Chains A and B, each alone.
Chain A
């Protein structure tokens, strides 16, 4: 995980049909923790949402073979159930609950050490890649995190 670069996913553990499991480790140090919060470093809730959205996005890219790029459109029922801080291992799952025309709805969850950290309903809209650089970067990231079919 590199919080400052919004690089939230370290590795895809599995991608099976409509479900993805990914893992990440919160960095020991980050400028984010200098402000959130002094003396009590916590991963901000918005970054946990981003982590769930990215896991869901990789699920969609794995399912559509990079035909389109998923973009976050809405977050509902987001709940932050436990604090999570530096060096914590995160297990993130996302499951497609509705496959619409041009959009996908997922139920996503973050766990750490067996404890529920956060969950939300994530809606992503898929559209053609708006720039080839974005598609190239996503394909490179797919190799980095081990998206099935994109091994290094």
Chain B
């Protein structure tokens, strides 16, 4: 993992631990947010809200969900921790352009 992705991963993992009952040390880069960590939809909304605020972005959850449901992208592309961190890095970079 690149250094900046590690920093983003750590920040997102902290947010998840603060906004759910998931233990911080159980969150790894390969954890799937829902399948492995068991985050339910309400906790996920709180987590997305916290990510939006922490990174100054708007995580496009609706668009991601539509793409997964349409078979355009695998769920892992967005909802495995290391990939989620990478998507957040992309959103932050796009905001700064």
**A residues at B contact (CB < 8 Å):** 73-74, 98-103, 105, 123, 125
Contacts and interface: CB of A to CB of B under 8 A. Distances in A.
A73 B42 contact: yes
Given A73-B42, A74-B42, A101 B58 contact: yes
Interface of B: 42, 45-46, 48-49, 52-53, 58-63
Contacts of A98: 49, 52-53
B58 to A, nearest CB: 6
B84 to A, nearest CB: 14
A100 to B, nearest CB: 6
B78 to A, nearest CB: 12
Given A73-B42, A74-B42, A101 B59 contact: yes
Main secondary structure, interface of B, reads helix
Output the residue of B45, B49, B58, B60 with the most chain A CB within 10 A.
Answer: B45
Given A99-B58, A101-B59, A101-B60, A123 B53 contact: no
Nearest to A74: B42
B61 A101 contact: yes
Given A74-B42, A100-B52, A101-B58, 10 more contacts: A73-B42, A74-B45, A74-B46, A99-B58, A100-B49, A101-B60, A101-B61, A102-B61, A103-B45, A103-B49
Contact of B48 (A74, A99, A100): A100
Contacts of B46: 74, 123
Nearest to B44: A103
B68 to A, nearest CB: 14
Nearest to B60: A101
B50 to A, nearest CB: 10
Contacts of A123: 45-46, 49
Contacts of B63: 101
22 contacts: A73-B42, A74-B45, A74-B46, A98-B49, A98-B52, A98-B53, A99-B58, A100-B45, A100-B48, A100-B49, A100-B59, A100-B61, A101-B58, A101-B59, A101-B60, A101-B61, A101-B62, A102-B62, A103-B48, A105-B49, A123-B46, A125-B45
A102 B42 CA distance: 12
Q: In the A-B complex, list the 10 residue pairs whose CB atoms are closest, starting with the nearest.
A: A101-B61, A102-B62, A101-B62, A101-B60, A103-B45, A102-B61, A100-B52, A73-B42, A101-B58, A100-B49
